[in-house]
Amino acid sequence: MSDLFSLDNSVVAVIGAGSGIGEAVALGAAGQGAGFVVCLDIHEQAAARVTEAIQAKGGKSRAIALDIADDDAVSSVLDAIVADTGRLDGLVCTPAINVRKPILDYTGDEFDKVVRVNLRGNFNVLRTAGRIMTARGSGSVVLFSSIRSLVTEPGQSVYAMTKAGILQLVKTAATEWATRGVRVNAVGPGVIETPLTAQIKNNKEWYDAYAKKSPMQRWGQAAEMVGPTLFLLSNAASYVTGTIIYADGGWLAADGRFTPPGM
């Protein structure tokens, strides 16, 4: 059964590999036997650090700078990966940004900034990966949505909108490419300790409130997103497409955190 989850000989590109969930996924893919892991990040030095860690353990890897909001760069970089390795079997895209503000305080520039990365960036990646993979007749794409695709809170309007949009992109691509050998899915993290959530971690009251909301009474770690992601990349998910795996510690299952007497 372990062969079902193997990534042996596959070429996997991880965008956002320089930190957080992307870093954990890149290291996990290498550990699961991927033949070549391409570490992509807007900060090339950060990606290079992860590449060096993979190489130190005997894996094959390369670091490349990439801004997913740059249409031409996404196309040229992914095409270059295929030119260098001969294939692209799996692609994971994790980057997102957030501007936490009430709707009435949001500026047009802030709206554009979040949408440019979270929606247009993911669309650029999905479109290019789809072009490459459908031509070959196989491949798996994993985008990162969030629990915010279903539930939200004050200050999360545009971020939540984009995360719901990513899920709809995934569903549409899956239906368009299902007969062409390409699967498209999403992972929906809950509250995870990453650079994106550092603002919350640095505020003890805020941090503790999120931990208490979770049935597990704690935050998730980046490493805990590796399993769901690699499952979706692997042959174990050969009949899984157009869906999302919420890895949220039960966040979406709980309606409040009061435990009635006697329970």
Q: What is the pLDDT of residue 201?
A: 81
pLDDT tier at 3, thresholds 50, 70, 90: confident
Query: Which stretch of 116-130, 196-210, 226-240 has the lowest confidence by average pLDDT?
Result: 196-210
Count of other CB atoms within 10 angstroms of residue 175:
12
Q: Please give the Cα distance from 128 to 254 (Å, whole number).
A: 38
Q: Please give the Cα distance from 88 to 129 (Å, whole number).
A: 8
More confident residue, 200 or 83: 83
Q: What is the pLDDT of residue 263?
A: 45
Is 61 in a helix, a strand, or coil? strand
Q: Tell me: the pLDDT tens digits for 100-133?
A: 999 999 999 999 999 999 999 999 999 999 999 9
Give the residue carrying structure tokens 């329970």.
263
Q: What is the pLDDT of residue 257?
A: 59
Quick check: is 239 catalytic? Answer: no
Dihedral (Cα; 26, 124, 187, 159), 10-degree rounding: 120
List the catalytic residue out of 106, 159, 210, 239.
159
pLDDT tier at 184, thresholds 50, 70, 90: very high
pTM of the model: 0.95
Fold of 2-247: Rossmann fold (3.40.50)
Q: In the chain, where do the E strands start and end?
A: 11-15, 36-41, 61-65, 90-93, 139-144, 182-189, 192-193, 220-221, 244-247
Q: Tell me: the pLDDT tens digits for 55-93?
A: 999 999 999 999 999 999 999 999 999 999 999 999 999
